Amino acid sequence: MTTAVLRPLLRIARRDMARHKGRTILITTLIGLPVGAALIVGMLLRQPNVTGDGVGYWAESALLRLEVATADAQTLESNLGTTSFARVDSATALLPASTGDPGLPGGGGLPVTVIIETFDPSNPLEPRRYQIVDGVAPTGAGELAISESLADLRSLAVGDPIQVYGLGQQTIVGIAHVREQHDFTTLLTSPEQPLPAAAELPNELTTLGLGYRSSSYYLATDPGDFGRFANNVSASYRRGSEPYPSNDQFFTDPTVIALLAGTGLLCVTGLIAAAAFATANRRRIRDFGLLSATGAEPGQITTLALVEAGLLGTVGAVIGATVAVIGFNTVGVGLLTANTNSDAIAVFAPRDVVVTIVVGIGAAMLAAWFPARTVAAVSTQTALAGRIPLRSPSRWTAPLGLATGAAGLSILAVWNDSNSGGDRQSLALIVGIVLGLGGAALLGGPIVSALGRLAARLPIGPRLVLRDNARQRTRTAAAVGALTAMFVIPVVALALIGTEQRSNQLTFPGTTDSSPFEQANRNRIVGVVLGLDQELSPAQLAPLDDIAAVEQIVTWTQLSPRGDPRAFDPWTGGPSFGAWDEALAAQLGLDQRQLPIDSPNELRAVQLVPGSLDWPPQELIDLYDSSGNLSVRLQVTSVSTDLVVEPAMFLLPDTATSLGLEPAYRAGVIQLAASPDAATIDQIRNLTSVTNTGFAAQAGIDLPPLSYGGYLDTPYVSSTNFDAVKAIVVGLAFVSGLLVLAVTAALVSTESDNDLATMVAVGGAPGLRRSFLARQTFSMAAIAAAVALPFGLLGARALADPGFYGNFDFTVPWLWVAVLLVGTPVVASAVIGTTMRSKAVTPLRRLD
C-alpha cells in the first residue's frame, strides 16, 4: 500500500477521532492508563531507596557498595554529595585496572574487585567449594586459579598473566567453578602463596552505601580518574540506571518488569478497547460500505481501522507516559520521600518510555484488528444496508478456549512442582498465566452465543438481553473476556491466601491469626548479622536502621580469626561451609519429614541469587552466646528467594581452628518465625556467634536430641492479617470490575439506543432502557463470574504450594469468593440501573 493511499485513510481516521470524542477519550484512556502504570512501576523499581517494608530491597542495597581507591572522605563527599560512607582499612585482593596497560589480558576497563581464597586440595571440603574446570589447581606462589566469571569478564585464559594488587604478577593456571561464591570474581591461591597484609595494599578502600541496584564494584586507579569516575557513577545513580552492567537476571530488569506489568493491564483494557472498536465499527458500517462501493479494498478498510487505532494508541500512550513521568517525578517523588523515610529520586528512563509506548500502540492496534477484519469481510451491499451479518461462532472457539486454559493450568502446575527460580521458570509462570487467562477469556464468546440460542423460552426482558449479547458477540465476548480475567486473578489470590491461612493454622495449632503479639512478631527480623570485621559508622548503619523490623545489629568484631584487619564483604568476602552434606545429614539422623513441631525457632534460608544456592531445608543453626554456650537452635526450614539474605553459617573460632578451617563470616538475618517471647528476643539480641550443626557435630559438640528442633516455616503473608488481605483483594477486584462494567454499559447503551428507542416507540415502558442496561450488565458479569470460578480454583490449585510439612489443605474462602463473584454483578447492575437515564432519549439515528 502506497503512501498516497494511506493519506486519505489517515485523514479519515484523524477526523473520525475528532468527530467521535467520546470514543477517542475512552480508547486513549484505556491505553494511557496501563502505559502510565507500567512506567510508574519501572520508576518505582529504579528507586534507590531502602524502606522498612522492602526487606528484599534492603538485601540488594547491601550490595550497594562502591569501592574506590585513593580517595578520601572529602573527595567523595564533594563528588557524590553524600556522607553515607565509611572508610575501610583494607579489603580482599584487587584486580587492578588494565586501562594503563592495554597489553594486559582483558583489554582494559574498570578494575575489578576480587575475592582471594586459599585453595587447599588436601582439604576434603574443598571440592565442594571449588571445582577446577580448566587447567590445574595452583600449587605455589605466582600461580592462580580464577573463577569462571572473572575469566569471562576479562577474557582471561589459562596461561595468561594477571596483575593483582598486593600479589604482583601472577600466572593463571586454572579456571574454577566457584560454587559457594556464586561464581563471583574470585582468585584461588595455593596455601603456599603469601597473602598481602592490609598494610601492603597500596590504596585505601572506601566503601559507600549508595543505594539500590548498584551491584558492581569499582576502583579508580588514581585520584585524577576518581573524580570523573565518581561523577559517572553519581550521574547513573541519579538517573536510576546501573552504573555498570551487572549479572542481573532478565526478570529483575525494571524495563522488563514494567513491560510485564503494562502488558498484563493492557490485556484487560485492550479487551475493553476491542469491544469499543467493535461497537464503533458497527455504528459506522454504512461508511465502510460506502468506502467499499467507492472502490476501497477490504485491506484498505482494515488499514483504515488500524491507522485509527494506531493514532488513538499513540495519543493515549504518549499522554499516559507524559502524565506518569511528570506526575511521578513531581508529586510521586515527594509522596515517596514523605512516606518511606528515604530520599526518592526523579527518574526518567527513556528505554522504559519507548518500550511501553510501543507496546501501548501495539495493543491498541491489536484491539482494533479483529473488529476491523470483521467489518472488512462484510459484503458491500450488506454494509450499505447497515447490517453486519450474524455469523455463527466458530465451533473451534470453545474447544480452543478449553485447550488453551488447560495448557495454561498444566504449565502452572508443572511450574509449581519444579519451581527453582530463574528466567525459564519465570517465563513459564508468565506463559501459564497468559494461557490460562486467555483460555478463560475465549470461552466468553461461545457461552454468549449459546445463551442467545437458549433465550427463546425466557420472558421478553432477559430474552432481549441475551439475544442482544449474542447479536453483538464481538463486543460482548470482549467485555466478558476482560471481566473473566479480572475475576480469575482475585479468585486465585483468595484461594491461595485461604490455603496459606489454613496451612498456617495446621502448622501452628496453638496460634491464632488474631493474636496481635504473634502476628506482630511473626516473620520479623530481630537481628542482622554482618560479616564485617570492622566497626560500622553511624552513616553505614543508617540504612539498616531504616528497616523498622531490625531491632539490633550485631557485628563480629571479636571473631577475627587471625587478628589482622580483614574486611569481608557480606556476600562474597568470606568462606562458607553451607553446602548440604547428605552423608552428614544421614550421620545426624536428620529426616526432614519426621521432626516434631514444637519449637518456635526457625531460620529461613534465603538465596541471594535465585536458583544458585541449593540450600537444604532442615539445616540446623545453633546460636551461641559470647561465652560459647548454646542458647538457641534454629532450623532452616525453607529456602526463599524473596527475602533478605543468605543464611549465616558460622563456626566458633575455636571450632574452626580445630577443624583447620577459617571461620565463615557471612551476612545473615535471623528471623523468628513464630511467637517469640520477650526473653527469646533478648536472648537473640545478645547472640554473638552462630555455628553450623554439621560442623559442630564434626567438632564433637554434643548436640541435644533433635526433638526440639522445629518446623517453623511460616508463610510470608502470615505476618499480615489474612482477612485484611482478602478484603483488599476483593475490594480492588470489585472496584476494577465496576469500572469495566461501567464502560461496557456505556458501550451497550451507545449501540442499543436505536433499538431501545424503537422499543419505547412500540410501547415499551419508560424504564425499559434502564432495566435493559442493568440486566445486560448483570448478564455479562455473571457469565464472566461463572467462567472465572472454575478457572480461578483450578489455577489456584495448580499454583498452591503443598508446603514442606505436609500440612496442606486446599482451602477456598467461599464467603469472599461469593462476595466477589455474586456481589459484583448484583452491585454493578444496581449501580447501572440507578445511574442510567430511565428512558431512551436518543432519537432514532438520522438516516443521513
The C-alpha cell that represents 47 in the structure block: 528507586
Instruction: Report in angstroms how near the CB of residue 16 gets to other proteins at its nearest.
Output: 5
Instruction: Report in angstroms how near the CB of residue 848 gets to other proteins at its nearest.
Output: 5
The C-alpha atoms of residue 79 and residue 611 are separated, in whole angstroms, by 38
Binding to other proteins by residue 453, rule CB under 8 A?
A: no
Instruction: Report in angstroms how near the CB of residue 608 gets to other proteins at its nearest.
Output: 60
Residues 98-117 touching other proteins, rule: CB under 8 A, are: none
Cα 631 versus chain centre, distance: 37
Binding other proteins (rule: CB under 8 A), the pick from 133, 136, 197, 293 is 293
Binding to other proteins by residue 297, rule CB under 8 A?
A: yes
Binding to other proteins by residue 832, rule CB under 8 A?
A: no
Q: Residue 299 or 704: which CB sits closer to other proteins?
A: 299
Q: Residue 283 or 839: which CB sits closer to other proteins?
A: 283
Instruction: Report in angstroms how near the CB of residue 378 gets to other proteins at its nearest.
Output: 12
Residues ≥6 apart with Cβ < 8 Å to 729: 490, 493, 494, 497, 816
Single out the residue of 321, 262, 335 nearest to residue 47, CA to CA.
335
Binding to other proteins by residue 762, rule CB under 8 A?
A: no
Give the 3-state secondary structure of residue 802.
coil
Q: Residue 16 or 67: which CB sits closer to other proteins?
A: 16
Binding other proteins (rule: CB under 8 A), the pick from 81, 103, 124, 295 is 295
Relative to beta strand 524-530, strand 553-555 is: parallel
Instruction: State the DSSP string of 281-337.
Output: HHHTHHHHHHHHHHT--HHHHHHHHHHHHHHHHHHHHHHHHHHHHHHIIIIIHHHHH
Q: Residue 382 or 410: which CB sits closer to other proteins?
A: 382
Instruction: Report in angstroms how near the CB of residue 375 gets to other proteins at its nearest.
Output: 14
Q: Residue 16 or 143: which CB sits closer to other proteins?
A: 16
Q: How many CB atoms lie within 10 A of CB 107?
A: 11
Binding to other proteins by residue 291, rule CB under 8 A?
A: yes
Single out the residue of 777, 779, 825 nearest to residue 769, CA to CA.
777
Q: Residue 286 or 467: which CB sits closer to other proteins?
A: 286
Relative to beta strand 619-624, strand 689-692 is: antiparallel
The C-alpha cell that represents 474 in the structure block: 464481538
Binding to other proteins by residue 10, rule CB under 8 A?
A: no
Q: How many CB atoms lie within 10 A of CB 182?
A: 18
The C-alpha atoms of residue 4 and residue 1 are separated, in whole angstroms, by 8
Single out the residue of 682, 709, 675 nearest to residue 693, CA to CA.
709
Binding to other proteins by residue 583, rule CB under 8 A?
A: no
Instruction: Report in angstroms how near the CB of residue 279 gets to other proteins at its nearest.
Output: 18
Cα 579 versus chain centre, distance: 28
Stretch that binds other proteins, among 297-305, 513-521, 764-772, 825-833 (CB under 8 A): 297-305
Q: How far is CA 268 from CA 29, 33, 271, 458, 726, in A?
A: 13, 11, 5, 31, 22
Instruction: Report in angstroms how near the CB of residue 389 gets to other proteins at its nearest.
Output: 13
Instruction: Report in angstroms how near the CB of residue 6 gets to other proteins at its nearest.
Output: 10
Q: How far is CA 532 from CA 439, 505, 553, 791, in A?
A: 53, 39, 12, 50
Q: Residue 380 or 555: which CB sits closer to other proteins?
A: 380
Residues ≥6 apart with Cβ < 8 Å to 95: 111, 112, 113, 114, 150, 154, 162, 163, 164, 165, 185, 187
Q: Return the DSSP state at 441.
A: H
C-beta of residue 415 within 8 angstroms of C-beta of residue 429: yes
Stretch that binds other proteins, among 13-21, 411-419, 759-767, 781-789 (CB under 8 A): 13-21
Number of residues that bind other proteins (CB under 8 A): 29
Give the 3-state secondary structure of residue 713.
coil
Stretch that binds other proteins, among 74-82, 91-99, 270-278, 295-303 (CB under 8 A): 295-303
Q: Residue 293 or 414: which CB sits closer to other proteins?
A: 293
C-beta of residue 440 within 8 angstroms of C-beta of residue 787: yes
Residues 271-290 touching other proteins, rule: CB under 8 A, are: 286-287, 290
Relative to beta strand 630-640, strand 603-606 is: parallel
Binding to other proteins by residue 21, rule CB under 8 A?
A: no
Residues 353-392 touching other proteins, rule: CB under 8 A, are: 379-381, 384
Stretch that binds other proteins, among 2-10, 24-32, 578-586, 606-614 (CB under 8 A): 2-10
Binding to other proteins by residue 679, rule CB under 8 A?
A: no
Binding other proteins (rule: CB under 8 A), the pick from 24, 147, 170, 300 is 300
Instruction: Report in angstroms how near the CB of residue 368 gets to other proteins at its nearest.
Output: 17
Instruction: Report in angstroms how near the CB of residue 303 gets to other proteins at its nearest.
Output: 11
Binding to other proteins by residue 627, rule CB under 8 A?
A: no
Q: Residue 62 or 301: which CB sits closer to other proteins?
A: 301
Q: Residue 154 or 282: which CB sits closer to other proteins?
A: 282
Instruction: Report in angstroms how near the CB of residue 456 gets to other proteins at its nearest.
Output: 18
The C-alpha atoms of residue 326 and residue 262 are separated, in whole angstroms, by 18
Binding to other proteins by residue 306, rule CB under 8 A?
A: no
Give the 3-state secondary structure of residue 765.
coil
Q: How many CB atoms lie within 10 A of CB 627?
A: 7
Instruction: Report in angstroms how near the CB of residue 413 gets to other proteins at its nearest.
Output: 47
Q: What share of the chain is helix, strand, coil (3-state, %, to 5)?
A: 55, 10, 35
Binding to other proteins by residue 845, rule CB under 8 A?
A: no
Stretch that binds other proteins, among 6-14, 234-242, 261-269, 712-720 (CB under 8 A): 6-14
Binding other proteins (rule: CB under 8 A), the pick from 74, 122, 169, 294 is 294
Single out the residue of 717, 732, 718, 723 nearest to residue 824, CA to CA.
732
Q: Is 583 exposed, middle or buried (0-12, 13-18, 19+ CB in 10 A)?
A: exposed
Binding to other proteins by residue 7, rule CB under 8 A?
A: yes
The C-alpha cell that represents 425 in the structure block: 521458570
Beta bridge partners of 116: 187
Binding to other proteins by residue 848, rule CB under 8 A?
A: yes
Binding other proteins (rule: CB under 8 A), the pick from 296, 532, 656, 687 is 296
Residue keyed to cell 501452628? 508
Instruction: Report in angstroms how near the CB of residue 28 gets to other proteins at its nearest.
Output: 18
Q: Residue 344: what residue type? A: A
The C-alpha cell that represents 247 in the structure block: 549479572
Instruction: Report in angstroms how near the CB of residue 296 gets to other proteins at its nearest.
Output: 5
Binding to other proteins by residue 844, rule CB under 8 A?
A: no
Q: Is 449 exposed, middle or buried (0-12, 13-18, 19+ CB in 10 A)?
A: buried
Single out the residue of 502, 501, 9 nearest to residue 303, CA to CA.
9
Q: How many CB atoms lie within 10 A of CB 381?
A: 11
Binding to other proteins by residue 12, rule CB under 8 A?
A: yes
- Report the chain's C-alpha Rg in angstroms: 32
Residues 28-67 touching other proteins, rule: CB under 8 A, are: none
Instruction: Report in angstroms how near the CB of residue 463 gets to other proteins at its nearest.
Output: 22
Stretch that binds other proteins, among 291-299, 365-373, 748-756, 802-810 (CB under 8 A): 291-299
Instruction: Report in angstroms how near the CB of residue 364 gets to other proteins at its nearest.
Output: 19
Stretch that binds other proteins, among 298-306, 347-355, 543-551, 601-609 (CB under 8 A): 298-306
Instruction: Report in angstroms how near the CB of residue 14 gets to other proteins at its nearest.
Output: 8
Q: Residue 328: what residue type? A: F
Binding to other proteins by residue 585, rule CB under 8 A?
A: no
Can you give the binding site for other proteins, defined by CB under 8 A?
A: 2, 4-5, 7-8, 11-12, 15-16, 19, 286-287, 290-300, 379-381, 384, 847-848
